[in-house]
Amino acid sequence: MDEVRTQVAIIGAGPAGMLLSHLLAAEGVGSVVVETRSEEYVASRIRAGILEQSTVDLLRATGLGERLDAEGHRHRGIYLQWPGERHHLDFVDLTGRSVWVYGQTEVQKDLVAARTAAGQQVYYEVGDTALHDLETDHPSVTFTDASGAEVRVRADAVAGCDGSFGPSRCAVPSSVRQQWERVYPYSWLGILADVAPSTDELIYAWHPDGFALHSMRSSSVSRFYVQVPNDTSLDDWSDDRIWTALADRLGHGQDGWSLETGPITDRSVLPMRSFVATPMRHGRLFLAGDAAHIVPPTGAKGLNLAVADVALLAPALAALVRGSSSLADSYSDTALRRVWRCTHFSWWMTSMLHTSGDPFDAELQLSQLRWVCSSRAGAAGLAENYAGLPIGF
């Protein structure tokens, strides 16, 4: 077996893993990243689209802001709507913070470019990833590399950044692991379309037929979602059916607003769940991002939470490899405070905006929406959570 020695072995080359290797390098700490998929596959997955203020601050402060500043779009807020009414919430006015439209695909490209320029060792297309000796101070990760050779990476610490299906979470023994889960009775059907956005900022729409979201990626590419039942097949949703649902739910024709349509270039159905696993640290294993928690996408928090985790984890690991364990010891508790805040916010946005079929729920949702849109305190609460609390909150 080939042996490689590094300070931190990182499992997963998604945003959490690649940003962690970037932040560790800035602290003078070496890492090796292992990833089951190819570089191209990881870079092209269409996922999150909104970066909160502290994510943007961190990317800029660590030399990753150039393309974001040139190509990202800063938004002051969002629109919330229900039939007959559309309201703008101005986060800048309410909290002094804003959000940016900049796709996860772009963040991933910037991370890969920065790590490649720095000579980062990333093993793509590995198999049989396994974690060893986590309760000692000489843990290791083994895998089969793309050529079929067996490799062992010996490290001072292992970072489990391998998303919701990776092996890291289950390496925390079930005797100490606790898990919380909420599965929602609906999914999102998401599309990417080659059409200019019909709105300047995102529209979150409550509608009796189900939730709809108008998002965007650039001045010529729009992203849309409609609430659909679980187990929906894409075969049942023709382009016409998708555009009709979006037009109805987003209010085409109301107050002179119209929804422009265009060729659909990507489509998928996303199930929605909330999930938290604790602790986020066991021995020399540290979990970050989707490996430890999943949120439904309604609050646009998944990617931002992964970034916030590694922003805490990098200095904790840097101190640990230099012999000081206090930040590593507090990592799980500190990270989980934000995780639960975002878990609540994502659940709250999801519960407020998705129709359940229960008329009592619908009246409560409309009452909540009216309050959020008419009370400065209500609007500020949403704005503070959506634009994101400071790292370390």
Q: Please pick, from the candidates 68, 303, 318, 389, the single residue that binds ligand RFL as defined by CB under 6 A.
A: 303
Closer residue to ligand PHB, CB minimum distance, 188 or 243: 188
CB of 57 to ligand RFL, least distance (A): 18
> Beta-carbon neighbour count of residue 113 at 10 Å?
12
> Beta-carbon neighbour count of residue 384 at 10 Å?
17
Question: Of 75, 207, 282, 354, which residue is the catalytic one?
Answer: 75
Give the one entry of ligand RFL, ligand PHB, none that residue 160 binds, where binding means its C-beta sits below a cut-off of 5 to 8 angstroms depending on kind: none
131 sits near ligand RFL (criterion: CB under 6 A): no
Annotation says 109 is catalytic: no
Cβ-contact 226, 189 below 8 angstroms: yes
Question: Of 204, 207, 296, 331, which residue is the catalytic one?
Answer: 204
> Beta-carbon neighbour count of residue 324 at 10 Å?
12
CB of 41 to ligand RFL, least distance (A): 8
Structure-block tokens of residue 5: 């020695």
Cβ-contact 341, 54 below 8 angstroms: no
Site of tokens 């009709």: 244
CB of 326 to ligand PHB, least distance (A): 36
CB of 322 to ligand RFL, least distance (A): 25
Closer residue to ligand RFL, CB minimum distance, 14 or 388: 14
Q: How far is Cα 198 from Cα 261, in angstroms, rounded to an integer?
A: 9
Annotation says 331 is catalytic: no
Site string for ligand RFL, 159-178 (x = CB under 6 A): --xxx-xxx-----------
139 sits near ligand RFL (criterion: CB under 6 A): no
Q: How far is Cα 162 from Cα 160, in angstroms, rounded to an integer?
A: 6
CB of 296 to ligand PHB, least distance (A): 9
Annotation says 75 is catalytic: yes
CB of 255 to ligand PHB, least distance (A): 23
Give the one entry of ligand RFL, ligand PHB, none that residue 77 binds, where binding means its C-beta sits below a cut-off of 5 to 8 angstroms depending on kind: none
36 sits near ligand RFL (criterion: CB under 6 A): yes
Closer residue to ligand PHB, CB minimum distance, 25 or 202: 202
Give the one entry of ligand RFL, ligand PHB, none that residue 298 binds, where binding means its C-beta sits below a cut-off of 5 to 8 angstroms depending on kind: ligand PHB
Q: How far is Cα 17 from Cα 161, in angstroms, rounded to an integer?
A: 5
103 sits near ligand RFL (criterion: CB under 6 A): no
Q: Please pick, from the candidates 9, 10, 11, 25, the single residue that binds ligand RFL as defined by CB under 6 A.
A: 11
∠ at Cα 104 (289, 205), nearest 5°?
Answer: 95
Q: How far is Cα 63 from Cα 22, in angstroms, rounded to an integer?
A: 10
Closer residue to ligand RFL, CB minimum distance, 15 or 251: 15
Which residues of this protein are in contact with ligand PHB, per CB under 6 A? 48-50, 202, 215, 223, 297-298, 300
CB of 51 to ligand PHB, least distance (A): 10
106 sits near ligand RFL (criterion: CB under 6 A): no
Structure-block tokens of residue 330: 């507090």
Give the one entry of ligand RFL, ligand PHB, none that residue 104 binds, where binding means its C-beta sits below a cut-off of 5 to 8 angstroms depending on kind: ligand RFL
Tell the burial category of 353 from Cβ atoms under 10 Å away from its Cβ (0-12, 13-18, 19+): buried
**Catalytic residues, which ones?**
75, 204, 297, 301, 386
Binding site for ligand RFL (CB under 6 A): 11-17, 34-37, 42, 47-49, 104, 126, 129, 161-163, 165-167, 270, 289-290, 297, 300-303, 306
